[in-house]
Amino acid sequence: MRAARMTTVGDNDVTGATVWLTGLPSAGKTTLAYELAGLLRPAGHRVEVLDGDEIREFLSAGLGFSREDRDTNVQRIGFVAELLASHGVLVLVPVIAPYAESREAVRKRHQKEGTAYLEVYVATPVEVCSERDVKGLYAKQAAGEIAGLTGVDDPYEEPESPDLRIEAHEQSVAESAAALLGLLRERGLA
């Protein structure tokens, strides 16, 4: 186990952490992550957003959407997040991670290494996500152009006891980010 590392930023000692934002496609995970990053950086925090789409393009290129490939993708992201967090970075991870077992493995990796980990469930209902359809995935699935859409024709296992549940469809992005910032402050991470 690595010793937890503290980084000094200005006059503050900062311990890194991973904040895993899980939820359906178009739930608002990435929007929330960037909103929160915009609040944390001006306060002197080192912040990285590990966006699931960007990771798939660069770190997990070639993986498909089978359960095994999704698990591999989540474990790769979890490894990178823990590594960054262990060096004093607040790592925001807006990634679907549909399987509870995969998310739990990431949490355990963090626990083993002594690195803070928070799971945030962006609990936007599939009907709202389908209306938002940021990437057109729900329309493609409905037209039969794609299969295996998480929450529609592929499973999404909701977190049973997340550190925070955000009803992003019932509040503004700013309110959601404020709630998450409050949790970080409560845990001594911001």
Q: Is 161 known to sit in a ligand binding site?
A: no
Q: Is 66 known to sit in a ligand binding site?
A: no
Q: Is 29 known to sit in a ligand binding site?
A: yes
Q: Is 28 known to sit in a ligand binding site?
A: yes
Q: Is 182 known to sit in a ligand binding site?
A: no
Identify the bridge partners of residue 94 per DSSP, sorted by sequence position.
Answer: 21
Q: Is 52 known to sit in a ligand binding site?
A: no
Q: Is 25 known to sit in a ligand binding site?
A: yes
**Rounded Cα distance, 190 and 187, in Å:** 8
Q: Is 114 known to sit in a ligand binding site?
A: no
Residue ranges for the known binding site are 23-30
Residue ranges for the known binding site for ATP are 23-30
